[in-house]
Structures are given as C-alpha cells and as structure tokens.
Amino acid sequence: MGIIGGGNLGSALAEGFLKSGVLRAEEIFVSDPEEEKLRKLARLSLQVTTDNRRLVEECDVVFIAVKPDRVESVLREVEDLSAGKLFVSVAAGVSTKFIEARTRARVIRAMPNICGSVLKMASAFSPGSRATKEDEEIVTRLLGSLGTTARVEERLMSAVTGISGSGPAFFFYLIKAVQEAGMELGLSREVAFKLAAQTARGAGEMALTSEEQIDELIRRVCTPRGTTIEGMKVLEERKVADAIREAIKAAARRAEELSR
Ligand SMILES: NC(=O)c1ccc[n+]([C@@H]2O[C@H](COP(=O)([O-])OP(=O)(O)OC[C@H]3O[C@@H](n4cnc5c(N)ncnc54)[C@H](OP(=O)(O)O)[C@@H]3O)[C@@H](O)[C@H]2O)c1
C-alpha cells in the first residue's frame, strides 16, 4: 500500500494504519519530495522514497494525499504505470472522473479527517466507474481500521467535507469555548480543558453507542428546574443550532466551489 504525499493527512493515514494493525510497517510505502518528512516516517520503519514512480510500480493500492492542485502533475508522472492499480484519492474537490480521465487506474475518492491518528476518524468514500466491489471492500477495511467509514454518492462529498472533513475544527472550537467558560468561572486552564475535552469525548461516545435517540439523551441531562435547562435556554435563545448548521453549510459550499 502506497501513500503519495507524506504531509498532515498522508502521515496521519500511515501512522493510523500502523497503529490499528491493519498493515505492517513494511507494507506501507510513502513518497514525498521532502527528505525531512520521510526521515520521520522512516523512524516508524515505514518504506519511504522521493520517487513517486517507484512507489506506484511497487504498490497495488495507492493513496493520493497531495494538495488538490498537485494531483494533476502527480497523475501525469505515473499515468503509464497506473493500469491494474487502485488509486484512492483524498484530495478535496477532485472527482473520480478527473482521475479516471488521466490514468488507467481504478479510482475511489475518499474524505477522511485528521482524527485517524487516534483511530477515531470519520470518513466516507465514493467509488469511481471502474472500481470493483473488492476495491470497495479494501477501502472499507483500510479506512474502517482508523475509525468509521461510509459509502456515499459522489455528489454528497461536499456535505461530507463540511461535516467530518472540516468537522474536527468545529468541535475543537466548541471545546475551546467550553474551556474558556470554565476559566471565567475560576477553574485553571488545565482542569477546564480536561473537563471540556473529556465531556466532548464522553458525549460523542454515548451518542454513538446508546440505544436512546439524541433528544432523549439531551432530556436525560436536562432535569426540570435543574441547571442544564438554564444553559439550554441560552443556546436556544442565541440560535446556536442555526449557527452550527450555517457553518457546516458554508464549508460544504466552499468544497463545492473548489470542486468546479
Ligand atoms: N488536512 C486535513 O485535515 C485533510 C482532511 C481531508 C482531506 N485532506 C486532503 O488531503 C490532501 C493533503 O492535505 P494535507 O493537509 O496533508 O497537505 P500537506 O500537509 O501539504 O501534505 C501534502 C504533502 O504532499 C507533498 N507533495 C507535494 N507535491 C508532491 C508530489 N509531486 N509528489 C509527492 N508528494 C508531494 C507535500 O510536500 P511539500 O510540502 O514539500 O509540497 C506535502 O508533504 C489534500 O488534497 C486535502 O484536500 C486533508
């Protein structure tokens, strides 16, 4: 399995695959022009190279994790080696059609997020016209090992980008706001942060595993005349849910613009 581009996402994928145990270090090959980035990855016993062609020659499955504007030049470089390969592109806004038109590879487009490094990634993927059921199974197994993954229609990739691609930043922002409120109420920075982040983790974990609907979970914390309900009133008055919906839609709109 190869990864072209050992930057933020490429190295998070490599580290996640290794951590999850889905691949052994010697099964992961990463290419990047920067020797320094490669040295860091080589310390994890991964195979590394500055030569994208060598990587494609040696790998059956190749993740493309370079910035969207670099995808075309990478494809040009390896086009003649692409027949019989599965290319998994994580480049925002780059369609499977674009890659299929420039290579002979089978193509799957995926939208991961940075939480793969802690094996809590939320990702989705769309198969291109040449991808097989087996290719989908490979991608489901690889991305699934980093957290959760779902197959979606390609026209919905911008929505996925808004929710889970950009999403970690929105949740970090909420954690920061909760921490700041804690500090304003007199808690130390460290304690306020721990309480905020662990509460977010616990709420996410419960939402994913509980049999109760999200509204029931909210009701369970909001006892009548209790404390939580006072906070919920402020969230409703300030229309925080509307603001969050708008934020996600703005990110999705931008993803749509970039994909034109
Ligand atoms: N970061 C995220 O949270 C996230 C989430 C979802 C999807 N993505 C997608 O993932 C892709 C990578 O994003 P990123 O944040 O990881 O960017 P990044 O940190 O800039 O990583 C891209 C890496 O590719 C290298 N590179 C550039 N040209 C190359 C070439 N011709 N061959 C091989 N490697 C090359 C870059 O090296 P130089 O720095 O030397 O140019 C850099 O190390 C993007 O397409 C983005 O849309 C990112």
Residue with tokens 């779902």: 150
Ligand 1 site, residue 70, Cβ cutoff 6 A? yes
Smallest CA separation from ligand 1 atom 21, residue:
7
Give the dihedral of Cα atoms 153, 159, 165, 167; nearest 10 deg. -140
Q: Is 213 helix (H, G, I), strand (E, B) or coil?
A: coil
Residue 113 alpha carbon, nearest atom of ligand 1 = 5
Cut 0.85: pTM above it = yes
Closest CA to 52 of 69, 66, 37, 41: 66
Q: Report the separation in Å between the CA atom of 5 and the middle of ligand 1, taken as the mean of its atom positions.
A: 5
Walking along the chain (260 residues) 10 residues at a time, the average pLDDT comes out as 95 93 96 95 96 98 96 98 98 95 98 91 98 98 97 96 95 98 98 98 96 95 93 97 97 88
Give the model's pLDDT for residue 258. 84
CA of 65 to the centre of ligand 1 (A): 5
Choices 3.40.640.10, 3.30.565.10, 3.40.50.720, 3.40.50.1860: CATH for 2-157: 3.40.50.720
90 C-beta closer than 6 A to ligand 1: yes
| Cβ(37) – ligand 1 distance below 6 Å | yes
Per-residue pLDDT, 114: 87
- Architecture of the domain defined by 167-258: Orthogonal Bundle (1.10)
Q: Ligand 1 centre and the CA of 190: distance in Å?
A: 32
Domain segments of the chain as ranges: 2-157, 167-258
Could you give the CA distance from residue 179 to residue 244 in angstroms, rounded to a whole number?
18
Whole-number pLDDT of residue 21: 95
Q: Are 139 and 109 in contact (CB under 8 A)?
A: no
